[in-house]
Each structure stands twice: as C-alpha cells, then as structure tokens.
Amino acid sequence: MTQPFEGIRIIDATHVLAGPFAAYQLALLGADVIKVEDPGDPDQSRVSGGDRALSRNGMGTYFLTQGSNKRSVTLNLKTEAGRAIFKKLVATADILVENYRPGAFEALGLGYDELSAINPKLIYCSISAFGHGGPRGEETAYDFVIQATTGLMAMTGTRDVHPIKFGAPAVDYATGTMGAFALATALFQRERTRRGQRIDLAMNDVALTLASSHVTSYLRTGSAPKPAGNEHPHATNCVFETKDGLLALGASNIRQQRRLWTLLGHPEMAKDDNDQRHDDRAREMALLAELLRARTADEWERFLEDNHVPAARVRTLPEALKDPQLVTRGFLHKHENVEGVDGGVTVPSTPFKLAHGGGRVTSPPRPFGADTEEVLQELGYEPEAIGKLRAAAVI
C-alpha cells in the first residue's frame, strides 16, 4: 500500500538527535530523505554512542538509531558551488529541515526568504534551542542543558538527591516527534493553500510542553513542583518494595484505588474522593509498604493486572526489550547487513500501527556521503563535473 509521505522529498540538513529524528519519522512513512553533511564535519551523532568501534568508523549508534531510509550526501555549504548544488536540491524538495544556530543559514544566503523564492511550496523547518528571535534566540544548547534551563532537572530526583537529568535524551526525541508533527501539519495545510510554510521549533518550548500540567498548576497556585522521586500525592500511585524488588503501583483513579484496597483485604481504606486520599496518605503509605512485602514483584504484577489494577515490576531496559509484546508490535527492526558495520543492527521504527501503508524500515543507514554521486547525477551533474567538485572539496 502507498505510504502517507511517498512522493515527498525532504532535505535533512540536521545533526545530533532532534532534527534527524524528525526527518526519520517521515522517512519511515515513505518520504525520500536526503541527509546533507559537511564533507569536513560529519554529523556529531556518527561518532557518538555505546559502541566505540562503530563511532570510530563514523557509524555510531546515535546515528544508526535514526539513519535508516535516508540517503547520505556530503556538501560544503561554505562554498559557492556547494550552495548552488544545495539550491538545486531544494528546488526538487517539499521540505527542508535544519537545526543550526539561528541565523547561520541566513548568513549563507540559504534562509527561508531566499529558498522560498526558488521553491514557493517549500516547507522550511528550523529547529533550535530557544527559537528564532528573542533575548536568547542565538544561544545554543543540548538536551540536558534544556532540561536544566526549563526546570525539568530541578523537579527530577528525590527530596535528598536532586536535580537529576532524565536517564534518556527525552527532550531531543520529544522535539523530533514534535518536529514530525509540525511537518505533517504544514504538508496538510499546503494541500489546501498551495503555499509553503516556515516552521520555527524551539527545544525550550517542547521541554515545557512535557511539563504542561506543572506549568498550569504553578501559574495558578504559585507552588513550584518539588522532586518527589518515586512517590506521588496518592499513595496507591507510588513505587514500593516487595519480597524481591520494586513494584510500580498505578491505582490512580478512585475506582482503581477502591478495587486495590478490596483486593488487599482492606476495603475500609478506600476513599470517596481525592481530598480524602491526600489527608490519609501517610497511613496508606505505611499499610501498603507492609502489605506489598508479602509477595514478589512479578507475583503482584500478575495478580493486580489480572484484576484490572495497573502495576508493573520495575524493569531494566534489557528486560523491557525481552518483553514478547514487542514482537507482536513490530516496533524493532533488525538490519542484517549495514555497510560499515560488523554484524546486525536493531533500530526502533514507528510506535504506532496503521491499517495500511504504515511505517517500515526499507533501507539501512548509509556510510558518510555514500549517495553523493547518485544524487548529483539525479540533478544533472556529469561524472567529470562531480570529479571536479570532489577535487575542490565541495563534496
């Protein structure tokens, strides 16, 4: 079946995680994505990740994670010839995504005004730390810096140990996901208006979006969120020690907490509203801590889930990846052969299913510049001209 973004061409002039992840989402859904990197300055993600040998080879696991379904082109945009080629690429494209410091592309003569004049239907997406304009517009940042800036780090941890950054680069991936949503939105709008669009996406705004309920609560009450570790205002929604490990208890709403207390043999502890739960929290915590030590975490998880009370043993990532549920979802894709990589590589794909034409991995991540000649030939460059561009370090 036809995928949603088949026939859409994206120029991916991004680096590290957020920008490449945004383009990757549309690549999984059929878009033709051409990744553009400086021949003398590869994407930082190529030399990053847990496998040092792959990083030394320019195929780091950070890059592999979101490099499938893309072609790789090297192009020196600091040269006039490089910019000319880039403009030819843009003329054939539907979308350009870039995540350099605000003003960098404008300084090269590759800003939205210049490129939309070449291609009026172009959707030009700029991803940056704080957005274009404003007192911090020209500042740069990475995921954990944005966590620090937005208060996410300050509200993470325990009462005694904080601030703590997230264990995963959640802001980067949330920004990439929001970027994909913005691109899909702009494409949908273009179908109606026949006009291109400028997207200005800020990691800072996305990070605060992740804390939306805290933002609204603080602006209403003036009470800032405090780091609470694994605890929650409702005792039945916390993490507890069991006979052999930790259990995350998720009896969040009134019905679930009433069901939980009944299952535990203490129906008298069930509350009729959240105010009562707040007021009796200390007593509930103490009783739950005592009761839940009677069984293993796995035993509690199975018993509670079978009785419609959300609960889970706290797992490590290796344990989570062994969950047979993942096989049924088709979320992970294994590349058996990747050029420049010894052995297979398994990567995430789309976290949702469509009845037809859904996301799929169709080609492995490409070595640095592996498709430069192919793409230039598509633009009409002859082999002799390509050779001269290579000799001049344009590609």
Which CATH superfamily, name and number, covers 9-210+330-391?
Crotonobetainyl-coa:carnitine coa-transferase; domain 1 (3.40.50.10540)
- In CATH terms, the fold of domain 235-320 is formyl-coa transferase, domain 3 (3.30.1540)
- Residue 58, helix vs strand vs coil: coil
What's residue 1's pLDDT?
Answer: 67
Q: Rounded to an integer, what distance in angstroms lies between the CA atom of residue 72 and that of residue 12?
A: 9
To the nearest 10°, the Cα dihedral for 226, 227, 229, 234? 10
Considering 38, 41, 172, 280, which one is annotated as catalytic? 172
Q: What pLDDT was estimated at residue 298?
A: 98
The answer to whether the 9-210+330-391 and 235-320 domains have the same CATH topology is no
The residues spanned by each domain of the chain are: 9-210+330-391, 235-320
- Write down the pTM of the prediction: 0.96
Q: What is the 3-state secondary structure (H, E, C) of 81-105?
A: HHHHHHHHHHHCCCEEEECCCCCHH
pLDDT along the chain (395 residues), means of 10: 94 98 98 98 97 97 98 98 98 98 96 98 98 96 98 97 97 98 98 97 98 98 96 97 98 98 98 97 98 98 98 98 95 96 96 96 98 98 98 97
What beta strand segments (E) does 171-330 contain? 197-202, 239-241, 246-249, 311-313
Check: CB of residue 338 under 8 Å from CB of residue 365: yes
How far is 224 from 56, CA to CA, in rounded Å?
A: 44
What confidence score (pLDDT) does residue 13 get? 98
Active site residue 172: yes
